[in-house]
């Protein structure tokens, strides 16, 4: 080994070890306010609260949940950006809040670089969902119905989902009737009531799919869906984009790296511990925990931000 390289490597190891030690010793200077950017009682809200409960039990920290749903997570982001960057405030949103939604709104104060990404908890199990055994329970049926001149009512629960539906329609030659609803639960209620024919759901459909009530006629993510592994990818149907993403915790920008690492480690410890209620929920309802922190998470968010910009451009041309 180069004799000049040895001291550099030794210094790198020392810095890394010091950082780990500091993160293990870190504790918030007071109670933590945990903002939840989802409606009370839903799967994402329950997930956030169970992770908070697990952190309190493991670390002894006090976490106070506060509901702040609305505007694709930007209502939460607007409040969180004003909070102290000392580890006493963080919130649960989805990755598209700080990528697609922030870019679409265009407010400089709400862009990705104004926040600290702490940790993901679960990857979207995004599917194009329809009622099982119905007239739209396969992509071939959807296409045939559209070609026969029958309008297809397509439920979406966010601006990104609506743009993805429009883009898919442009690529496949189908003029979807896009219906905006509130959350994945709203999409599923619309399907059950016959008010819509198909719709995007990011994971809440899992139980209904397993029980045979609904089916994923296509997947919005690269990897096969846990409940419908044979569902074709939307890119195979003609889309240029995936509808991927994560449920995740974020903090105000400028958070000390030691605090960031400690909070990310705490979230990981609870989510990946098979003895916790949070892990049980993530496994049953979200395809299992999928944790990304630190530089790995930063790289994903940068990639997602670029993809969001490309989608916004595609639907505006």
pLDDT of residue 105 exceeding 50, the answer is: yes
Sign of CA dihedral 54, 57, 58, 63: positive
Structure confidence by residue, pLDDT tens digits, 163-207: 999 999 999 999 999 999 988 889 999 999 999 999 999 888 988
- Tell me whether residue 49 is in a domain: yes
Q: Which two tokens stand for residue 92?
A: 């649960």
Q: Are residues 310 and 175 in the same domain?
A: no
- Structure confidence at residue 10 (pLDDT): 53
Rounded CA separation 261/256 (Å): 9
Q: Are residues 118 and 138 in the same domain?
A: no
- Structure confidence at residue 109 (pLDDT): 95
Average pLDDT of the residues in 148-177: 95
The domain boundary residue, chosen from 194, 215, 237: 237
- Tell me whether residue 24 is in a domain: no
CB 64 within 8 A of CB 122: no
The domain boundary residue, chosen from 237, 264, 291: 237
- Tell me whether residue 19 is in a domain: no
What CATH number is associated with residue 272?
3.40.190.150
The DSSP call for residue 255 is -
Question: Into how many domains does the chain fold?
Answer: 2
Q: Are residues 119 and 249 in the same domain?
A: yes
Rounded CA separation 201/65 (Å): 25
**Distance separating the N- and C-terminal Cα atoms of the chain:** 55
Q: Are residues 113 and 155 in the same domain?
A: no
Q: Are residues 288 and 194 in the same domain?
A: no
Rounded CA separation 26/20 (Å): 10
Across 38-47, 169-178, 215-224, 298-307, least confident range: 38-47
Which residue in 23, 86, 27, 19 sits closest to 254, CA to CA? 86
pLDDT confidence bin for 284, thresholds 50/70/90? confident
- Structure confidence at residue 176 (pLDDT): 97
- Tell me whether residue 203 is in a domain: yes
Q: Are residues 168 and 297 in the same domain?
A: no
Q: Are residues 229 and 149 in the same domain?
A: yes
Average pLDDT of the residues in 286-299: 95
- Structure confidence at residue 183 (pLDDT): 83
Q: Are residues 114 and 208 in the same domain?
A: no
What CATH number is associated with residue 206?
3.40.190.10
- Structure confidence at residue 42 (pLDDT): 83
Structure confidence by residue, pLDDT tens digits, 63-84: 999 999 988 899 999 999 999 9
- Structure confidence at residue 205 (pLDDT): 92
Q: Are residues 170 and 208 in the same domain?
A: yes
Q: Are residues 90 and 230 in the same domain?
A: no
Report the predicted TM-score, pTM, of the whole model to 2 decimal places: 0.85
The share of the chain scoring above pLDDT 70, in percent, equals 93
Q: Are residues 144 and 162 in the same domain?
A: yes
């Amino acid at each position: 080994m180069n004799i000049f390289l040895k001291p550099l490597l030794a210094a790198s190891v020392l810095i890394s070890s010091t950082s780990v030690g500091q993160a293990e010793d870190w504790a918030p200077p007071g109670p933590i306010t945990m903002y939840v950017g989802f409606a009370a009682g839903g799967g994402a809200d329950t997930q956030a609260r169970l992770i908070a409960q697990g952190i309190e039990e493991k670390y002894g920290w006090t976490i106070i949940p506060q509901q702040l749903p609305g505007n694709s997570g930007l209502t939460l982001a607007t409040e969180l950006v004003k909070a102290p960057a000392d580890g006493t405030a963080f919130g649960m949103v989805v990755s598209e809040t700080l990528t697609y939604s922030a870019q679409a709104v265009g407010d400089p104060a709400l862009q990705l670089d104004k926040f600290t990404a702490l940790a993901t908890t679960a990857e979207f199990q995004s599917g194009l969902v329809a009622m099982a055994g119905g007239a739209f329970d396969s992509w071939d049926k959807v296409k045939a119905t559209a070609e026969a001149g029958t309008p297809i009512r397509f439920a979406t629960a966010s601006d990104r989902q609506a743009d993805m539906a429009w883009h898919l329609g442009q690529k496949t030659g189908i003029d979807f009737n896009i219906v905006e609803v509130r959350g994945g639960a709203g999409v599923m209620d619309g399907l059950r009531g016959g008010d819509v024919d198909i719709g995007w759901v990011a994971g809440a459909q899992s139980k209904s799919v397993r029980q045979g009530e609904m089916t994923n006629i296509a997947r919005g993510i690269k990897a096969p869906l846990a409940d419908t592994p044979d569902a074709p990818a939307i890119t195979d149907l003609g889309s240029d984009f995936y509808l991927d993403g994560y449920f995740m915790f974020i903090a105000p920008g400028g958070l000390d790296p030691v605090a960031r690492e400690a909070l990310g480690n705490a979230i990981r410890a609870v989510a990946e511990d098979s003895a916790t209620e949070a892990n049980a929920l993530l496994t049953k309802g979200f395809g299992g925990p999928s944790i990304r922190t630190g530089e790995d998470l930063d790289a994903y968010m940068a990639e997602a931000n670029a993809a969001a910009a490309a989608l916004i451009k595609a639907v505006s041309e």
